[in-house]
Amino acid sequence: MNTIFDPMRIRDHFEESAQLAQDLLKDEEFLQALSRGAQVLVDALKSGHKVMSCGNGGSMCDAMHFAEELSGRYRDDRKPFAAMSFSDPSAMTCIGNDYGFDKVFARQTQALGRPGDVLLAISTSGNSPNILAAAKEAQLLGIKVLSLTGNGGGQLSGLADVDVCVPWNGYADRIQEVHIRCIHAWIESIESALA
């Protein structure tokens, strides 16, 4: 069979991803941060607050996925949880046009966030200006900041109440793969605690 793809390259892709997952299972700091993040989310939802989420590019897709799994369902039927992602294109283009792209998430945090809510801020580098601005706004409003980062955590790690940083300095796709696993672990934790 004549193929244009190198099967070893595909195997390497999966092996590298699996190795990172195995390394994380031995990383107590990472696992403890993940557990603290779950507690922040459970506490907020249990006390009647909401979870907001934001990210850019693939991280926005993760932010949307997180919110829809909470307000919809993940594995089992249960009541919906109050969650939303800042992903409305009309809001983003309006705010971006009037205030600049760096404010697209901060402005929505200011408009929709209340003390006791949680902002899940996702940035593989931890240095996205619009994510940093949202985290700063959340701090001012008494909103807890939970972050998913990588590559050392960047500036965002210093703004978060809990930062879950993937210890990876390579391409961002590996960090994103772990982020979606974190999101699923959090959703399962929320359902287990509250459903």
Domains within the chain, CATH numbers bracketed = 13-194 (3.40.50.10490)
Contact (CB, 8 A) for 147 and 122: yes
- pLDDT computed for residue 57 by the predictor: 96
Q: Count CB neighbours of 77 within 10 A.
A: 6
Reported as a single tens digit per residue, the pLDDT across 39-73 is 999 999 999 999 999 999 999 999 999 999 999 99
Pair 131, 156: CB distance under 8 Å: yes
Band (29; pLDDT cuts 50, 70, 90): very high
Q: Taking a C-beta distance cutoff of 8 angstroms, is the pair 175, 166 a contact? A: yes
Whether the per-residue pLDDT at 110 is higher than 90: the answer is: yes
CA angle 137, 131, 16 (to 5 degrees): 145
pTM as predicted: 0.95
Confidence bin at 195 (pLDDT 50/70/90): confident
Q: What would the mean pLDDT of 77-91 be, rounded to a whole number?
A: 96
Tokens of 106: 């901060």
Mean pLDDT of the chain: 96
The kind and range of the H/E element at 187 are helix 172-194
Q: What number is the average pLDDT over the span 178-188? A: 98
Query: Residue 2: which pLDDT band, with cuts at 50, 70 and 90?
Result: low
- Tell me the average pLDDT across 8-27: 93
Please write the tens of the pLDDT for every residue from 144-182.
999 999 999 999 999 999 999 999 988 999 999 999 999
Give the pLDDT of residue 32: 98
Which residues, in sequence order, are CB contacts of 3 under 8 Å at separation 6+? none
Q: Which of 123, 122, 132, 125 is nearest to 102 (CA)?
A: 132
Write down the pLDDT at residue 112.
98
